[in-house]
Amino acid sequence: MINLFLAGDVMIGRGIDQVMPHSVDPRLFEHYVHSAEDYVQLAERTSGPIPRPVDAGYVWGDALETIEAMGPDCRIVNLETTLTTSPDAWPAKEIHYRTHPANVAVLRAARIDCCTLANNHALDWGEDGLLETLDSLHAAGVTTAGAGQNLADARAPQIFDRPAGRVIVIAFASTTGGVPRDWAARDGRAGVDVVSGWSVGGAGQIAARLSTIRRAGDVVVASVHWGSNWGYDIPDGQRRLAHALVDVGGVDIVFGHSSHHARPIEFYRGRLILYGCGDFITDYEGIGGYEEFRNDLVLAWFATVDPESGQTVALTMAPFQLRRFQLLRPPQADVEWLASTLDRHSRSFGTRVDPTPGGLIRADPIQPLTM
């Protein structure tokens, strides 16, 4: 069996950057907030003082112990932060995320193997910012998928050879997730791998990319940044694309993200589809609006995959609560709220979700898998 750790949007910039040992210029270009320091103050007004400077493992909090205990073979996150000192904010874009390149130590603290970068913040600080991000991650031994110096680089799969088998990670972004079409990588131009809307043509492209490298027993993870920020409804086009990634693309896990909270879970032909993993690490603490979605509660996703069949045989989620820019174990009542909410919205996708002993959550297909 191959065990994977997946986490949705990891955003270690802006306010979080300001409490790290190395920080960038805090100036922002947002309508209502003009300094990253304001996000620190907002979080402190909400939850209490944040020490400065924090160490590289601080933001992971209790999650570090949980990740180590689960023993994943491969650790994959969607990094929604550039690591750059570039002063060139993307014009006409309001929200820009970045952290000092030295803060790559945060990712190393959790021993992250792969950062997917095909998302709507990869070029917040222009091509130079993306290139510095790539250099910083690669120099630290963290691989990347979904963005690169050119189109071939952005589309290149990453392969992780583990004792139980190989894990292949591929990543792309949909314009439905707020990714500008002009961020697309091209020959001779840095950028991300972008598809328009819910185009199922992307599934065929993935199959073509995998055709020369995939072996029997490989587990393929497709990271997809797609869809809106809030709500539990899954558009028909999104579901068709997810199924095409399995049927046509040969994908075993659809690792979807963009929404600020977790969305429905589906086991399609035994393959795991995560329509929205939700945020994982952010500086959103204390920001008002959409409180009914409880985006202070986040999930670490642990999938156990049978490499022979490609089916996910177990899915466990570890819930955490963001407090003072740190992941902490939540009260049991919050664990049960998360489980019941996901259960309610996943039932129509053939999935049940239940809390388990030890403060974890488990998802299973309502109909047992056939091997």
CA angle 337, 342, 343 (to 5 degrees): 95
Per-residue pLDDT of the chain (371 residues; tens, 9 = 90+): 999 999 999 999 999 999 999 999 999 999 889 999 999 999 999 999 999 999 999 999 999 999 999 999 999 999 999 999 999 999 989 999 999 999 999 999 999 999 999 999 999 999 999 999 999 999 999 999 999 999 999 999 999 999 999 999 999 999 999 999 999 999 999 999 999 999 998 899 999 999 999 999 999 999 999 999 999 999 999 999 999 999 999 999 999 999 999 999 999 999 999 999 999 999 999 998 999 999 999 999 999 999 999 999 999 999 999 999 999 999 999 999 999 999 999 999 999 999 998 999 999 999 865 54
Give burial (CB, 10 Å; 0-12/13-18/19+) of 128: middle
Task: State how far the alpha carbon of 241 is from the alpha carbons of 1, 157, 198, 255, in Å.
Answer: 27, 19, 6, 13
Residue type, 113: D
Q: Give me the pLDDT at residue 265, please.
A: 98
Contact 254, 247 (CB under 8 A): no
Contact 106, 136 (CB under 8 A): no
8-state DSSP, 184: B
Q: Give me the pLDDT at residue 367, please.
A: 80
Question: Is the pTM of the predicted complex or chain greater than 0.85?
Answer: yes
Q: Is 291 left (phi over 0), alpha (psi -120 to 50) or beta?
A: alpha
In whole angstroms, give the CA distance from residue 325 to residue 43: 8
3-state helix, strand, coil in the chain (%, to 5): 30, 30, 45
Question: Which letter, b or e, does each residue of 211-250 get, where b requires 16 or more Cβ atoms within 10 Å of its Cβ?
Answer: eeebeeebbbbbbbbbbbeeebebeebbbebbbbbbbbbb
User: Tokens for 42?
Assistant: 């907002």
End-to-end CA distance of the chain: give it in Å, rounded. 14
Q: Give me the pLDDT at residue 202, please.
A: 86
Q: Give me the pLDDT at residue 371, please.
A: 47
Give burial (CB, 10 Å; 0-12/13-18/19+) of 263: buried
Question: Which letter, b or e, does each residue of 150-186 get, where b requires 16 or more Cβ atoms within 10 Å of its Cβ?
Answer: ebeebbbbbebeeeebbbbbbbbbbbbbbbbeebbbe
Q: Is 14 left (phi over 0), alpha (psi -120 to 50) or beta?
A: left
